[in-house]
Structure 1
Amino acid sequence: MIILVASAAQAETGLASYYGGRGHRGEMTCAHRTRPFGSMVTVSRAGHSIRCRINDRGPFVRGRVIDVSISAARALGMMRSGVVRVSVE
């Protein structure tokens, strides 16, 4: 259990993209390859920071560390760019 908490607390930096599809009333969710489902992460970019819940696996594109929902992408200001550099904690 301590190992799980320690690994979830590690920060990582890399590229993020967003995904469409059905959302649950603007809920900020995201997909990550290894973090546990239901865990909360902080995603930061250029002075914007959000909390989102891991509810899926991915991204499956090389070099990307996280995929965020459309509402999370709007909050991060990444709708025009599509793919941006972020920090995930």
Structure 2
Amino acid sequence: MGSAQAESGLASYYGGRGHHGEMTCAHRTRPMGSVVTVSHSGRSIQCRVNDRGPFVRGRVIDLSISAARALGMMNAGVVRVSLQ
């Protein structure tokens, strides 16, 4: 079917650059500008890939603070997510 392969693993978040309040993320291989659906404990958000990373072993995605807040993962810091 499409190129959207399901993945799961650990997500963290970063306070880096980007427009305030934007739902963006860093992924190693997905095309820049593509939209990824990230799910964690019954919540799902959509974020746009605008960076490369994460470069920490075992992590599949780094989310912007707004995306992390929308997923409800601010307190945990690192959570297991699935990507679509």
Q: TM-score range by the shorter chain?
A: over 0.9
Amino acid at match of 1:12: E
Is residue 2:39 matched to residue 1:33? no
Q: Distance in 2 between matches of 1:61 and 1:50?
A: 22
| Larger Rg belongs to | 1
Residues 52-67 of structure 1 aligned to structure 2 (within 5 Å): 52-67=47-62
Q: Which runs of 4+ in 1 moved over 6 A?
A: none
The percent of aligned pairs where both chains have the same amino acid is 80
Report which stretch shifted further, 39-48 or 20-29. 20-29
In the superposition, the TM-score normalised over structure 2's length comes to 0.95
Secondary structure of residue in 2 paired with 1:72: helix
Q: Distance in 1 between matches of 2:75 and 2:69?
A: 9
Gaps of 5+ in 1: none
Is residue 2:75 matched to residue 1:80? yes
Task: Please give the root-mean-square deviation of Cα atoms over the aligned residues, in Å.
Answer: 1.2
Gaps of 5+ in 2: none
Structure whose residues are more often helix by fraction: 1
Is residue 2:20 matched to residue 1:20? no
